A and B are shown apart, each in its own frame.
Chain A
Amino acid sequence: MRRMPSRWPVRGWRSLALASMLLPAVALGCPEAPPRGTGDLGLIVERAAGRVQLVETTGRSALGSIDGLGDLSHASLVYSRDGRYAFVFGRDGGLSKVDLLCRRIELRVLQAGNSIGGAISQDGRLVAVANYAPGGVKVFSSDSLELLADIPAEYEPGKRAKVVGLEDASEGRFVFSLFEAGEIWIADLSEPRLPRITRFRGIGSQPYDALVTPDGRWYIAGLFGEDGLALIDLWHPERPARRILSGYGRGQEALPVYKMPHLEGWAIAGRYAYLPAIGRHEVLVVDTDSWREIARISVAGQPVFVMARPDGRQVWVNFALPHNDVVQVIDTQTQAVHKTLHPGKAVLHLEFTPRGEAVWISARDDDRVLVYDTASFAQLATLAVEKPSGIFFTARAFRIGL
C-alpha cells in the first residue's frame, strides 16, 4: 500500500485531526453518541449567545447545544446532503461546520468581516457565503472548508456591492444579487476554482433578498428601492431579467420599513407565489404561469416571512415591528386570513416540520420557541431557548434554494 486507495480516508483524517486540535476535550468519533438518524433534527439559533440548540421534532424536545459560533445576529445555516452537518453563517463572517450527531464544531473559519448568509451546491460539495464586507461571494469545499473561489462583487472599478439573496441552482450554479448595483449574477462553479459569471444589469433598484422556486427554475429578487420584483429564468439564462409586479404600491406612500422582509421561505403554494409587499400591510399573490398579480391579501402588519406549509394549503406570515407579536395564517383556497395567533413577543421566524403537521415559531423577547399543530392550531409544546431567531430543520438538506 504505497498509496491510499482513495483520497477520502486522508481527507477524513485531516479534518478529524484539525477538529481534535481545536477541541481537544472531545473524543474522536464521539462514541458516547448513540446511533440515530438526523431526519427529525434541527437547529435553533440563539442569536445573542453565539450558540445553536439541537432539537428533535418527534418528541419536540431540546437535545443539547453547541456554542462558540460568534456573532449570530441574522445567522442562517444550510445542511450537508447526508443531514449530519450544518454550515452556520454568522454575521461576523464566521463559517462553522457543526456536527449534529457529535454535537460539536467540526471546523470553523473567519472568512470575511460581515456576512449575510449562504447556500450549498446541488451536489453538496460546495458551500458559498454572501458577504457585505468585503462585498462578494466566497466558495468553500464543504468537506474541508478550504477556500476554492473568491468572487468580489465589483460592479464598477473600485466599487463593491453588498451581496444578498445567495441561492443554489442546478448544474453547479449559485445566484445572487448586488444591493447597491441593482444587478443579479449567476456564478457557474462546475469548475470550482474557475467561476464563470453571467451578469444581469439594471434589474431594479436595491435588491434586498431573493428566492429560488421549489422546481429550481425561477430566481426572484425583491426590490427595496422600487415597487416590484426581478425575475430570472434559470432554465434560460440567455433571456433577460424581467420585472414583475411593477408599481404594486400604485403610487401610495409606503410605510416606514422597520424590518426587511425575507423571501427565502418557499412561499410558493401550488401555482401561486405569496410575496411580502414592502412597506404595506399586504401579501401579494402572483400566478407563476403568467407572473401577473391575481390577488392581494390584507394582513395585520408588514410581512417579514411568508411561508407555505409543505402541502401548500396554508401560508403563514409574521410581521415587522410594531406587529411582531402576531402570526397570521392564510387559507390558499380562499386567499384570505383565516387564523390569527399571538405566539409571543418579537416573533422572528417559523419553520414547518418536513411534512407540515406542526410549525415551530421563535418568540425572541419571550426566550422561547412554540410548537403549534397546523390543523387545529393547538399549542403542542414550548421550549426554553435564549433569544431564538432562525429555526432550521434538516429536511432543508434535500430542497433546492434552502
Chain B
Amino acid sequence: MLSLSAHPADGAQRAQETQDGSVRARHLALRHLVKHDCGSCHGMRLTGGLGPPLTAVALADRPLQFIESMILRGRPGTAMPAWQGILSDADARWIAEMLKEEGFEE
C-alpha cells in the first residue's frame, strides 16, 4: 500500500504487467486446449474429424458471435458439447477470434 501510494506509476505498471502475464498464460493454456482437446474431434490441425473443420476458410461465413455461442452453448443434436463450465465468455471470444483470424498453427 505504502509503496503503491509512494510510486503510483510503478504500481499501476506492475499490475498491468501481472495482468498481461496472466492473460498470456491463459492464452497459452487455451492454445493447448484447442489443439489437443478440441482437436480430439476436430483434428489436431483443426482440419476436421468427427466434428467439422475449424480452419479460417471453413469458418469464413460464420459470424464471430455464432462461433462464440457454439463454443459456450454447444450444438444440440450433435456431439458438440457446451464448454461454458470450462471456458469463460472471454476465453470463447478469444478462441473465436483466433479461429477466424490467425488460426492455431504455430
Contacts and interface: CB of A to CB of B under 8 A. Distances in A.
A joins B in a complex: yes
Interface string B21-33: 0000000000010
A48 B44 contact: yes
B45 A256 contact: no
B40 A260 contact: yes
Interface centre among B35, B37, B83 (most CB of A within 10 A): B37
Interface of B: 32, 35-37, 39-41, 43-45, 47-50, 74, 77, 79, 81-83, 85-86
A206 B37 contact: no
Nearest to B39: A73
Given A256-B74, A258-B81, A260-B79, A179 B44 contact: no
B101 to A, nearest CB: 23
Given A132-B50, A259-B37, A346-B36, A114 B43 contact: yes
Chain B interface SS verdict (over half): loop
Contacts, number: 65
B4 to A, nearest CB: 37
Interface string A203-244: 000101000000000000000110000000000000000000
B86 A322 contact: yes
A91 B49 contact: yes
A322 B86 CA distance: 8
B79 A224 contact: yes
Chain A interface SS verdict (over half): loop
Interface in A255-281: 256-260
A71 interface: yes
B40 A74 contact: yes
A206 B44 contact: no
Nearest to A164: B50
Contacts of B83: 256, 258
A257 B81 contact: yes
A166 interface: no
A256 B44 CA distance: 21
A48 B35 CA distance: 9
B79 A71 contact: no
B70 to A, nearest CB: 13
A256 B72 CA distance: 11
A71 B45 contact: yes
A18 interface: no
Nearest to A132: B49
Interface centre among B36, B45, B47 (most CB of A within 10 A): B36
